[in-house]
Amino acid sequence: MSKVVRQIGFDEGAYVAREKEDVVVGNEIIRHRLSSRVIHWAVADTFFACLFTGLPIWTPVFGWMATLVGGMSVCRLVHPWFGLAFALSSLVMAVHWWTEMEMTKEERGWVGPKLLEYLSDRANHDKIGKYNGGQKVYFFTSKLGALGLLVSGVVMWYATSFPAWARQVAFLLHNFSFILFTVSLVFHIYLAAVAEPGTFNSMTRGTVSKAWARIHHPKWYRELMGLEK
């Protein structure tokens, strides 16, 4: 690891993380380079924009949210455009992460019991690489959700150009996709921001501690540390 020397207090990890990931910088490991983080936050921000402009349309219980953006008409006006931005960001994200998200047979088990094992701290982490099965499942879930939202959203956007049955299917699909996406998002946020200290940093500064990596992604850690081929 080459050492870059700058002034005192220079954040070497963040600097390296602008362009590289999966490298060790001192006590830290760069987990997400800048482009990855930008893509993630693009998806996250556009989703929240959709959420805040969509929830008031979904149910009057969240009607107050509409006030924050200037009323229902503004919601109706911007929601499809945010949706389009969200869908595009999701597409970029999908391409960006696609190769890393290849799932082994074993990892497919994360859809069911393994996730519970993981949550109840009973899982064997030993073989977990950069992403565990749960993260991969979430990746695909979110992409599937995004696709569902996009397709149904377009139909609802240009409702007059589609037959009644298509509009009705779109209504249901938009609902389903939204619920699926949001439920998994709750867990994603919880685990990333609350339950696993040190994780959130990986999506902000881009780095994690070696200890974090050794606990949560041992295989990845071993690979980076040259402990495993």
Partner 1 sequence: MSVQNTLEVVRSSAQVWGSGSGLRSLPTVSKLVDTSTCIGCKACEVACQEWNDLKAVATANDGDYQTLKTLDAEFWNLIRFDEQEVDGGIKWLMRKDQCMHCAEPGCLEACPAPGALVQYANGIVDVNPAQCIGCGYCETGCPFDVPHFSAKTGKMGKCTLCVDRVSVGLEPACIKACPTGCLHFGTKEQMVAMGNQRVSALKAAGFAQAALYDPMGVGGTGVVTVLAFGDHPEWYGGLPKAPRIPMAVTFWKKWLRPIGFLAIFGAIVGAFGHHLYHGNKGQVDPGPVGPDEKG
Give residues in contact with partner 1 (CB under 8 A). 56-61, 63, 72-73, 75-76, 119-121, 124-126, 156, 159-160, 164, 167-169, 171-172, 175-176, 178-179, 182-183, 186-187, 190-191, 194-198, 211-212, 214-216, 218, 221-222, 227-228
Give me the least distance between CB of 163 and partner 1, in Å please.
10
Of the two residues 80 and 103, which places its CB atom closer to partner 1 in the complex?
80
Of the two residues 12 and 22, which places its CB atom closer to partner 1 in the complex?
22
Rounded to an integer, what distance in angstroms lies between the CA atom of residue 188 and that of residue 168?
Answer: 30
Query: What DSSP line would sit under 203-229, residue for residue?
Result: HHTSEEEHHHHHHH-HHHHHHHTTS--
Give me the least distance between CB of 158 and partner 1, in Å please.
9
Of the two residues 35 and 168, which places its CB atom closer to partner 1 in the complex?
168
Q: Which of 194, 189, 88, 97 is nearest to 140 (CA)?
A: 97
Of the two residues 95 and 116, which places its CB atom closer to partner 1 in the complex?
116
Q: Which two tokens stand for residue 14?
A: 């963040």
Rounded to an integer, what distance in angstroms lies between the CA atom of residue 18 and that of residue 44?
Answer: 20
Give me the least distance between CB of 6 and partner 1, in Å please.
30
Give me the least distance between CB of 169 and partner 1, in Å please.
7
Q: Which two tokens stand for residue 24?
A: 């060790």
The conformation of residue 33, written as its DSSP 8-state character, comes to -
- Cα torsion 38, 43, 44, 50 to 10°: value is 140
Of the two residues 39 and 145, which places its CB atom closer to partner 1 in the complex?
145
- What is the Rg, in whole angstroms, of the alpha carbon atoms belonging to the chain? 20
Give me the least distance between CB of 195 and partner 1, in Å please.
6
Of the two residues 95 and 227, which places its CB atom closer to partner 1 in the complex?
227
Give me the least distance between CB of 130 and partner 1, in Å please.
15
Q: Are strands 23-25 and 28-30 parallel, antiparallel or unpaired?
A: antiparallel
Q: Which two tokens stand for residue 155?
A: 């139909």
